[in-house]
């Protein structure tokens, strides 16, 4: 099993490598990962439905080429008048770095400059693209590791990447409010 500190570092590397990702959430209890993209425009219901259909078709076509089949592909949108957050939930068994690259490319082609791309961190400097790709590959593998038991969420705040481990929701009890 990859140690938790290593997993945090790898998820940070994944978010730095793919600045189009607003956040990534690993839910090992469900064996899923949830990717969030932010789009600077309001998507109405028809646009959301068309987007969901197109993403599902891209993912299923990609997996057919690899002779695999997705167990979970779910898309949800949250938005207001000027922004839409697109959440894609995928099963960890069939999710790969190559699919993530496909999704990032899809959003770039579909929405262009409307996709929120987070700025490169100041200390990023002249990072080696090959090393970034290798770290991204290891990050996806770490998330897929069946021994990974803690849920986590990674996101950007300005030019920083933050990763938090989440408490199990099954064990949490709501306190009474008066």
> What pLDDT shows up at residue 113?
96
CA angle (33, 95, 2) in 5-degree steps? 70
pTM: 0.84
> What pLDDT shows up at residue 168?
58
Percent of the chain with pLDDT over 70: 87
The SS3 of residue 147 is coil
Token readout for 72 is 């979970």
Q: Under 8 Å CB-to-CB from 127, ≥6 apart: which residues?
A: 16
Within 18-71, residue ranges assigned H as helices are 45-65
> What pLDDT shows up at residue 132?
82
Q: Of 127, 111, 97, which Cα lies nearest the Cα of 35?
A: 97
Domain boundaries, given as residue ranges, for the chain:
4-166
> What pLDDT shows up at residue 178?
39
> What pLDDT shows up at residue 126?
57
pLDDT tens-place string over residues 120-153: 666 555 567 788 888 888 888 888 887 777 888 8
pLDDT at 1 over 60: no
Q: Under 8 Å CB-to-CB from 15, ≥6 apart: which residues?
A: 21, 23, 24, 118, 154, 155, 156, 161
Q: Under 8 Å CB-to-CB from 130, ≥6 apart: which residues?
A: none
> What pLDDT shows up at residue 123?
59
pLDDT tens-place string over residues 3-56: 567 778 878 888 888 999 999 999 888 999 999 999 999 999 999 999 999 999
Average pLDDT over residues 65-86: 92
For the chain, give the mean pLDDT: 85
């Amino acid at each position: 099993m990859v140690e938790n500190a290593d997993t945090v570092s790898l998820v940070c590397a994944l978010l730095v490598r793919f600045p189009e990702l607003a956040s990534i959430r690993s839910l090992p209890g469900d064996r899923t990962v949830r990717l969030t993209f932010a789009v600077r425009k309001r998507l109405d219901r028809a646009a959301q439905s068309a987007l969901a259909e197109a993403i599902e078709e891209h993912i299923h076509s990609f997996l057919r080429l690899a002779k695999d089949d997705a167990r979970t592909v779910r898309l949800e949108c949250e938005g207001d008048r000027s922004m839409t957050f697109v959440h894609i939930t995928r099963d960890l068994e069939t999710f790969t770095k190559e699919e993530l690259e496909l999704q990032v490319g899809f959003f770039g082609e579909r929405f262009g400059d409307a996709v929120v791309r987070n700025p490169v961190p100041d200390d990023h400097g002249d990072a080696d693209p090959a090393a970034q790709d290798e770290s991204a590959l290891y990050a996806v593998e770490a998330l897929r590791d069946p021994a990974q038991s803690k849920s986590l969420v990674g996101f950007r705040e300005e030019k920083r990447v933050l990763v938090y481990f989440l408490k199990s929701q099954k064990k949490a009890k709501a306190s009474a409010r008066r």
